């Protein structure tokens, strides 16, 4: 029986070597791919938070700027008459902000929080602290608000203020 000296093909060693090189490369590629997807998801979520927070802040600011007569001013509830003679009420219940009874955000998965602090003469907070212990103009109330929004692990907070002048 004649044994051929060399058969065309690959040996087991060569094959194992090829597979191991291929697997090392593919593991690297996979991890890059996976982190890409992860970053995409984080960005997407954060963008959604930012957009929604913007929406609340803009609604609150534009409403408060139209305020003519304040009816109620509590940490988590404001109620006032606006320039068109419409009554506007903001309330917070179970981490949902309601404007005249309608939720400001449609998306139920987002938890929001709002807190109003106000500064005006003769009211609980007489001056702002922070080296600005000057008198305020009569009839001017500064409403500072802190709005935060949470989506699972991520959260975003914004602090801002509006001056309101009561016409009476």
Partner 1 sequence: MSKKEEGFTLVEVLIASAILAIALIPMLSVLNINLKWMTHTKDMRVAANLARLEMEKVKSLNCKEDEIESAVYEKTVNKTVWKIEREADSSTDPVEIWINIYKKDATKPSVTLFTLKENLTWP
Is 85 or 124 the residue whose CB approaches partner 1 more closely? Answer: 124
Q: Does 62 bind partner 1 (CB under 8 A)?
A: no
Question: What's the rounded Cα separation, in Å, for the pair 5 and 3?
Answer: 6
Report the residue number, 20 or 100, with the smaller CB distance to partner 1. 20
Dihedral (CA of 134, 139, 140, 144) sign: positive
Shortest gap between Cβ of 53 and partner 1 (angstroms)?
8
Report the relative pairing of strands 67-74 and 77-82 from DSSP bridges: antiparallel
Q: Does 17 bind partner 1 (CB under 8 A)?
A: yes
**Sites for partner 1 among residues 80-119 (CB under 8 A):** 119
According to the binding rule CB under 8 A, does residue 138 interact with partner 1? yes
The distance of closest approach from Cβ of residue 107 to partner 1 in the complex, given in angstroms and rounded to an integer, is 19
Q: Please give the full DSSP string across 91-106, using - where no structure is assigned.
A: EEETTEEEETTEES--
């Amino acid at each position: 029986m004649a044994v051929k000296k060399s058969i065309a093909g690959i040996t087991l060693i060569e094959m194992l070597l090829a597979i191991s090189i291929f697997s090392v490369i593919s593991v690297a590629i996979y991890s890059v791919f996976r982190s890409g997807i992860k970053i995409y998801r984080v960005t997407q979520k954060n963008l959604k938070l930012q957009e929604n927070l913007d929406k609340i802040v803009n609604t609150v600011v534009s409403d408060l700027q139209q305020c003519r007569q304040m009816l109620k001013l509590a940490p988590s509830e404001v109620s006032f008459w606006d320039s068109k003679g419409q009554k506007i009420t903001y309330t917070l219940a179970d981490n949902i902000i309601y404007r005249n009874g309608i939720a400001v955000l449609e998306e139920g998965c987002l938890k929001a929080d709002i807190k109003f602090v106000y500064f005006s003469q003769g009211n609980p907070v007489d001056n702002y602290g922070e080296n600005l212990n000057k008198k305020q103009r009569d009839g001017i109330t500064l409403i500072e608000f802190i709005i935060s929004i949470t989506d699972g692990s991520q959260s975003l907070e914004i602090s801002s203020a509006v001056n309101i002048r009561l016409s009476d």
